[in-house]
Amino acid sequence: MSDTTAKPPALPRASRPRRYSVFAIAREAMRLHSGWQRAWASPEPRRRYKIVIVGAGGHGLATAYYLGRNHGVTDIAVLEKGWLGGGNTGRNTTIIRSNYLQDPSAAIYDKSLSLYETLSQDLNYNVMFSPRGLIMLAQTEHEVRGYKRTAHANHLQGVSTEWIEPERVKKLVPIINLAGPRYPVLGGLYQQRGGTARHDAVAWGYARACSAMGMHIIEKCEVTGIESAGGQVTQVNTTRGDIGCEKLVLVAAGHSTVLADMAGFRLPIESVALQALVSEPIKPCMDVVVMANTVHGYMSQSDKGEMVIGGGTDGSINYTQRGSWHHIEETVRALVETFPMISRLKMLRQWGGIVDMTGDRSPIMSGTPVGNIFVNCGWGTGGFKAIPGSGWAMAELVAKGEPGPLAADFGLGRFREGRFIDESVAAGVAH
C-alpha cells in the first residue's frame, strides 16, 4: 500500500485562498468582522468546461479538488441540483474507520483515513477530525470469529486494528452493560485511529479549496439530460442551460441510476433510506464510537453532547429523507440493551439519507459504456469515511482515463465477471 499513500504536492501560492488563522481572527475582530470573504464563489455557468462533475457532495468536491491538486486540471464545473453538501454528506453520522476485510476495501478506506488525519491542514479548514477510536462489539461467537479474522487480515494489510477483550471494552466505554439481557459483550474489534469528523465542514473545506483554484461550483442546477455523439459524451442539459464537456463524472449517490438512465446505461445499485437521530445534549459520557451489530445499532457522542444514534437501512427501496417511528423504536430498543442509561434521554431530531447499495456492498469507481463518462457510486452507508480516498482515486481515473491501484478492483466489469468484493459482513451494521 506504500505506492498509494504519498501526500499531494502543495498548491501554488497564487492559488491558495486567504488563510484562516488565529491572526486572521484577531485582525477581523478589530474590523468588526467586516473583511471576511465568501468561502466559495457562486458563478454563472459557462457554456463549456473540460470536466463536469454532477454532485456537489463530499465525493464530487473531493474529486474536483484532487483533479486540481494532483493533476493540474482546474477547468471544472461541479453541478448540484440543491445546495452544496445537502445530500448524504449532510445526512450521515460521520463515522470514519478503515478496518475492512477485503484487500481493495482496506486500501481505499485506509488511504482515506490517512488523508483525513491531515485534511484540516491541507485545506486550511477545520474539518473537526476526532480520532477518538471505534469499537465494533462482538456479541455472538460468530462475530468473535469474524472480527478476529478481520483483525488478522488487517494486520497483513498494514491497517492498524486489534481484537480487545470485554474488560478493555468496559474500560474504554464505562457506560456499557457487558452482561446484556440477550447478548453479552464478548469483545470487540478496535481501531484507535478511527473516529468522526464534521460532515458539513468536510464539504465546505473542499468547496473553498476548489473555488480558490478557479473551479465553478454551481448550485440549484439540476441535470435534466445527457447528450452524446459517436459514443462520446458531448454535453449535459440542466435547468440553467446546456453545458458542454469533454468528460462527465456522475457522483450522485442514490440518484446515480437516474443519471445513468439519461446517458443510456444501467447501474447495479438500489436506493434505500438510512435513518439516524440525536438525543438532547448531556454531559460527556462516551468518547469512542461503538457499533453493536448484533442488536443492530451504533452510537457516539457529539462535541455538543448529543448522543448520535443510527441503525440499519429501511427494509424496502425508497427515496425518503425523513425519519419514521418504527426506526426509533427498533434502533433505540436495541441500544438500550447495551447502554441502559440512554433510556432516560429525549430525542432532539431525526432524519434520513438515501444510500446506494450494490450487491457486494462495495462501491463502483469506473468508466462506463459511454465514452468519457465516469461514475462513482455504490458506497452504501460507508460513503462519508471514504470521501478523501474516493476523490483521490477518481481524480486519477478521470485524469488518466484508466484506474490507478486504488480504483482498479471497483470497476463495473466485476459484476459481469463475478469478481465481487464482498463486504457484507465487514460492513457490520451496513457500515
Q: Summarize pLDDT for 235-278 with one digit per residue, the tens.
A: 999 999 999 999 999 999 989 999 999 999 999 999 988 889 99
Tell me which of 34-38, 78-82, 235-239, 384-388 is least confident.
Answer: 34-38
Tell me which of 156-170, 210-224, 303-317, 369-383 is least confident.
Answer: 303-317
- The confidence score (pLDDT) of residue 79 equals 98
Whether pLDDT at 37 is above 50: yes
In the chain, residues under CATH classification 3.30.9.10 are 134-193+271-358
Region 363-390 average pLDDT: 95
Q: Which residue has the higher pLDDT, 426 or 270?
A: 270
How does residue 43 score in pLDDT terms, banded at 50, 70 and 90? very high
- The confidence score (pLDDT) of residue 427 equals 54
Region 333-360 average pLDDT: 90
Q: Please give the Cα distance from 213 to 278 (Å, whole number).
A: 37
Q: Summarize pLDDT for 91-150 with one digit per residue, the tens.
A: 889 999 999 999 999 999 999 999 999 999 999 999 999 999 999 999 999 999 999 999
- The confidence score (pLDDT) of residue 194 equals 96
- The confidence score (pLDDT) of residue 431 equals 45
Region 199-205 average pLDDT: 96
Tell me which of 42-51, 72-81, 349-358 is least confident.
Answer: 349-358
Burial of 323 (0-12, 13-18, 19+ CB in 10 A): middle
Q: Which sign does the torsion angle of CA 158, 164, 169, 171 carry?
A: negative
Region 330-358 average pLDDT: 90
- The confidence score (pLDDT) of residue 391 equals 98
Selection from 410, 352, 350, 353 nearest residue 386 by Cα: 410
How does residue 319 score in pLDDT terms, banded at 50, 70 and 90? confident
Region 394-415 average pLDDT: 96
How does residue 323 score in pLDDT terms, banded at 50, 70 and 90? confident
CATH of domain 134-193+271-358: 3.30.9.10
Region 181-209 average pLDDT: 95
Whether pLDDT at 364 is above 50: yes
Q: What is the mean pLDDT of the chain?
A: 91
How does residue 313 score in pLDDT terms, banded at 50, 70 and 90? confident
Which CATH architecture best describes the domain 40-124+198-268+360-417?
3-Layer(bba) Sandwich (3.50)
In the chain, residues under CATH classification 3.50.50.60 are 40-124+198-268+360-417
Q: What is the pairing mode between strands 289-292 and 297-301?
A: antiparallel
How does residue 35 score in pLDDT terms, banded at 50, 70 and 90? confident
Tell me which of 182-196, 309-323, 411-425 is least confident.
Answer: 309-323
HSE at residue 271, side-chain half, CA atoms within 13 A, is 17
Region 331-346 average pLDDT: 90
Give pTM, 2 decimals: 0.92
